[in-house]
Amino acid sequence: MLGLRRLLAVSGRHTPEVTSASAASSHSAVFFRALQILAQPGPVRLQKLSAPDTGIVELRLERPEAKNAIGKEMLQGLRSAIQEVEADTAANVVLVASSVPKVFCAGADLKERRLMGPTEVRDFVNSLRSTFSSFEALSIPTIAVVEGVAFGGGLELALSCDLRICGEDAKFSLPETGLAIIPGAGGTQRLPRIVGRSRAKELIFTGRRFDAVEAVTMGVVNYCVPAGEAYQKALELAREINQKGPVAVKMAKKAINQGAEVDMPSALAVEEECYEQVLHTQDRLEGLAAFAEKRKPVYKGK
């Protein structure tokens, strides 16, 4: 409330006691405008969808003046959003999208980067890498919705998601070698695991752009749809996932991710461990009951 009074003071308004309806109305209008100022949205917005899509969460990038370039403020917004999703036991799927037309994310904020010294650059990139790793490590599925450009850190953010959907006008690139640096937020590690070493080396060494058709052919994206329809396709996938057993989906993700990093015997041991986690759940019994009763199961994540 102290911040509100200061805003009222800056606006040139005073708060004497008034009795007229017009004065009260004017004061209310100023109060509302002040609240709007205090509630200015940041570059990252987290929103929970309502029924029937309860369980689906949207993470929106909203920095139109910089084409969603990732600076210090957006990085902090991403970290806060991830922490909020981690703490939300009702969240089952995350959609990562942009509110800026024809742009997913243009990469790092190079204007801000120019003002940093080597130590500050190192700290920023390390923090960005850690943030994307935390996002990748979320126990629930994540889906990137790419319309327009996804360059540098923008593509690295998409690569840290489980699934990627793009519009046919999407453009991708890891252009860092053209700036005499390398992808530093996971690109040199996640891209080879998706498209293979040789193709990843070509894309990173040259920094060339590739389009949506090539992206889906290489496996960078799961689906390419007409421009402007990527969100709807991603939402359809999220709805399908949201209907499945939440614990089962989490354990499936864990088994796939952890198993891919070890030899086959160790990977099968991971699968066994994850299966054990679903064996004694209420949802497993609900699934069997629903099948026997020929009805749709109602899962509660227990």
**Structure tokens given for 36:** 């709007």
Say if CB 48 and CB 54 are below 8 A apart.
yes
C-alpha distances (whole Å) from 193 to each of 10, 37, 151, 201, 268 are 54, 45, 18, 12, 20
Edge-to-edge order in the sheet of strand 142-146? 44-48, 56-61, 93-98, 142-146, 163-167, 223-225
State how far Cα 109 lies from the chain centre: 18
Question: Rounded CA gap, 126 and 203, in Å?
Answer: 22
Say if CB 184 and CB 122 are below 8 A apart.
no
Q: Which helix (H) or strand (E) holds 283?
A: helix 282-293
Question: Rounded CA gap, 245 and 300, in Å?
Answer: 8
Positions marked catalytic: 108, 153, 156, 176
State how far Cα 158 lies from the chain centre: 8
Nearest to 91 by CA among 249, 297, 290: 249
Q: Find the length of the chain.
A: 302
Nearest to 59 by CA among 42, 38, 39, 72: 42
State how far Cα 131 lies from the chain centre: 11
Paired with 270 in beta bridges are none
**Structure tokens given for 69:** 């370039």
Between helix 246-259 and helix 282-293 the angle, nearest 10°, is: 120
